[in-house]
Homo-oligomer: A and B are copies of this chain.
């Protein structure tokens, strides 16, 4: 059976960094994110007796994809090999993470292709095992990923529908350099930061605060908290052993520009993961203005405007 799914990438307002369980990808703390309307992966999966081995056509780690197919085959009790074709609607190698959208699309397409009848929760748990943050790309809109203590309790749910809060994520692609250290490797030593225990002791309250600010649509306080959280993430990474300096010269240029624009009266905040792309968070009405400003920066290679979007879902048109 052949199935195709589309899944969005997501931007974390509170971050996933450090794991309670390395293999099961159970995070140290819960996190809150928004699915992104314009950073999408489309994946078609077909299981057939004719395939002698898994035939994987996508940019990324083939081994990790086959492992994920094995998980789904095991649950479904099938043994057919699969053909997988996947496409991003954004350029690869720009530092834009496609693992969240990629594993969410793969999970939905493959589980339906294997005739599994999975709930949203089960799909989220499954996606998480492929790539942690992929579990947040399963539900619609604004999402919370519970850290949990077991595989069954670590999954994401919708906390607000995509039309609840009219904000935008204007992604500034600022450089095409590759990361020095992969996110998976960097996460493994999160505990080596002397500040990690303090961070973790405060995450529950931070997530509660953030949900309240989304609910109240208090944009200024929301933006400040999002920025503080990104800075805290980088403070942890800078103090790990060995230190991780994911800041690039280009990201500092963008961050400093945002500070300036805000002083000039435009309510815009930033967040940043381990890549060089900076996410500018603004109100929906300001998205074009912010995008125009972002394009004026010398370091900007591309600007992608995102609104809150639905999560992973099946579509009718296949890639092969």
| Interface residues, chain A, with chain B CB atoms under 8 Å away | 180, 194-195, 197-199, 202, 227-228, 231-232, 234-236, 238-239, 241, 243, 245, 247-250, 252-253, 255-256, 259
Identify 12 new A-B residue pairs, CB closer than 8 A, beyond the known A245-B252, A249-B256: A195-B195, A195-B235, A227-B243, A228-B239, A228-B243, A231-B239, A232-B238, A232-B239, A234-B238, A245-B255, A248-B252, A252-B252
Q: Which 7 A-B pairs have the closest CB atoms?
A: A235-B235, A249-B249, A195-B195, A231-B238, A249-B252, A235-B239, A235-B238
Judging by beta carbons under 8 Å apart, are A256 and B245 in contact? yes
Q: When the two chains form the complex, which single residue of B194, B232, B241, B252 contacts A198, counting CB atoms closer than 8 Å?
A: B194
Closest residue on chain B to residue A234 by CB atoms: B238
Residues of B within 8 A of A194 (CB): 195, 198-199, 202, 232
Residues of chain B within 8 A of A228, CB atoms compared: 239, 241, 243
Main secondary structure of the interface of A (DSSP, over half): helix
A249 near B239: Cβ-Cβ < 8 Å: no
Question: Once the chains are docked, how many angstroms separate the CA of A231 from the CA of B192?
Answer: 14
List of B residues within 8 angstroms of A234 by Cβ: 235, 238
The CA-CA distance from A77 to B227 in the complex, in Å, is: 53
B-chain residues with CB within 8 Å of residue A250 when the two chains form the complex: 249
In the assembly, what is the distance between CA of A247 and CA of B256, in Å? 10
Shortest distance in angstroms between A22's beta carbon and chain B's nearest beta carbon?
24
Q: Across the interface, name the chain B residue whose C-beta is closest to A193.
A: B235
**Bound-state Cα–Cα, A207 to B42, Å:** 55
Separation of A252 and B276 alpha carbons in the complex (Å): 13
Closest to A255 in B: B245
Task: Please measure, in the bound complex, the distance between the C-alpha atom of A256 and the C-alpha atom of B180, giving whole angstroms.
Answer: 10
Closest-CB distance, A185 to chain B (whole angstroms): 16
What are 9 A-B contacts with C-beta separation under 8 Å? A194-B232, A195-B235, A227-B243, A228-B239, A231-B243, A232-B239, A234-B238, A245-B259, A252-B252
CA distance A173 to B202 in the complex (A): 39
A147 CB to nearest chain B CB (Å): 19
Smallest CB separation, A224 vs chain B (Å): 9
Q: How far is the CA of A252 from the CA of B251 in the complex (A)?
A: 10
Q: How far is the CA of A243 from the CA of B269 in the complex (A)?
A: 13
